[in-house]
Amino acid sequence: MITEVRGDRLAGPAGSARRSAPPALVLAALGVVFGDIGTSPLYALQAVFSIDHAAVEPTRDNVFGIISMIFWTVLVIVGLKYVALVMRADNDGEGGIVALAALARQRLARGSRVRTYVVLAGIVGAALFYGDSVITPAISVLSATEGLEVATPDVSHWTVPATVVIVVVLFLVQHRGTERIGAVFGPVMVVWFVSLAALGIPAVAAHPSVLLALSPTYLLAFAAGHPGVAFIAMGAVVLSVTGAEALYADLGHFGRPAIRRAWFAVVFPALIVNYLGQGALVIDHPAAVANPFFHLAPSRVVVPLVVLATAATVIASQAVISGAFSMTRQAMRFGLLPRLTVRHTSAESSGQIYIPAVNWLLLLGVLLLVLLFRSSSRLSAAYGLAVTGTFVLTTALLLTVARTRWHWSRRRVVLVGVLLGGVEVLYWTANLTKLLRGGYIPLTIAAVLVVVMVTWQRGRDAVTARRTAVEGPMEDFLSGLAAADVRRVPGTAIYLHATPATVPLALRDNVLFNHVLHERTVVVTLTAVGVPYAAPERLVDIDDRYAASGILLAVVRQGFMDHIRVPELLQRVAAEIDLEPGELDEATYFLSHMVVTDGRRTDLPRWQRRLFIGMVHNSSPVTFGLPVERVVVLGSQIEL
Q: Residue 121 — φ and ψ, nearest 5°?
A: -65, -40
Asked if residue 460 is part of any domain, the answer here is no
Structural domain count, the chain: 2
Do 234 and 108 sit in the same domain of this protein? yes
Residues 502 and 582 in one domain: yes
Q: Are residues 519 and 434 in the same domain?
A: no
Task: Give the integer Cα–Cα distance in Å for 476 and 265.
Answer: 66
Closest to 560 measured CA to CA, from 582, 534, 540? 534
Q: Which pLDDT score is estimated for 569?
A: 76
Boundary-marking domain end, from 438, 453, 474: 438
Element (H, E) at 489: strand 487-497
Q: Are 386 and 418 in contact (CB under 8 A)?
A: no
Alpha helices, DSSP H, located in 79-226: 97-105, 113-145, 147-151, 159-172, 179-206, 216-225
The per-residue pLDDT for 410 is 93
Q: How far is CA 141 from CA 212, 239, 316, in A?
A: 32, 15, 9
pTM of the entire structure?
Answer: 0.79
Does a structural domain hold residue 256?
yes
Residues 434 and 499 in one domain: no
Q: Are residues 90 and 218 in the same domain?
A: yes
Cβ burial of 423 (10 Å; 0-12, 13-18, 19+) is buried
Q: What confidence score (pLDDT) does residue 422 get? A: 92
Answer whether 639's CB lies under 8 Å from 613's CB: no
The verdict on residue 458 lying in a domain is no
d(CA 539, CA 229): 57
Whole-number percent of the chain with pLDDT over 90 = 29
335 SS3 class = coil
Domain boundary among 438, 455, 476: 438
Is 577 among the domain residues?
Answer: yes
* Residue 550 CA neighbour count, 13 Å, CB half: 15
Are both 482 and 602 inside the same structural domain? Answer: yes
Of 301, 384, 274, the closest CA to residue 47 belongs to 384
Question: How much is the pLDDT for 541?
Answer: 81
pLDDT at residue number 4: 43
pLDDT given at position 283: 93
Whole-angstrom Cα distance, residue 64 to residue 217?
A: 10
User: 174 and 245, same structural domain?
Assistant: yes
Tens digits of residue pLDDT in 517-548: 888 888 888 887 766 677 766 777 888 888 88
Q: Is residue 448 part of a domain?
A: no
Tell me, yes or no, whether 142 and 247 share the same domain: yes
Residue 203: CATH number of its domain: 1.20.1740.10
Residue 314 lies in a domain: yes
Residues in the chain: 640
Non-local CB neighbours of 626 within 8 Å, separated by 6+ positions: 566, 567, 589, 591
Q: What digits encode the pLDDT tens for the residues 37-68?
A: 999 999 899 888 875 545 688 889 999 999 99
Report whether pLDDT(10) > 60: no
- Are 353 and 219 part of one and the same domain? yes
500 and 433 inside one domain: no
List the beta bridge partners of residue 496.
Answer: 524
Q: Where are the alpha helices (DSSP H) in 501-638?
A: 505-509, 566-572, 581-584, 606-618
> For 221-230, 292-301, 464-473, 530-539, which range has the lowest pLDDT when averaged over its residues?
530-539
Q: Helices 422-431 and 385-404 meet at what angle, rounded to 10?
A: 160
Backbone angles phi, psi at 632, to 5 degrees: -115, 125
Convert the pLDDT of each residue in 465-491 to its tens digit: 888 887 888 888 888 776 667 888 888
Are the CB atoms for 339 and 621 separated by under 8 Å? yes
* Strand duo 353-354 + 343-344: pairing: antiparallel
Q: Of 438, 456, 485, which residue is a domain's last? A: 438
Arithmetic mean of pLDDT, 548-552: 84
Q: Do the Cβ atoms of 65 and 230 come closer than 8 Å?
A: yes
Does residue 456 lie in a domain region?
Answer: no
Which range of residues forms the domain containing residue 513? 465-639
pLDDT at 536: 66
Whether 56 is covered by a domain: the verdict is: yes
Instruction: Look up residue 630 and give its amino acid.
Output: R
pLDDT of residue 6: 42
Mean of the per-residue pLDDT values of the chain = 84
Looking at the structure, tell me whether residues 386 and 472 fall in a common domain: no
Regarding whether 613 and 577 lie in a shared domain, the answer is yes
Is the separation of the CB atoms in 541 and 1 below 8 Å? no
Over residues 147-167, mean pLDDT: 80
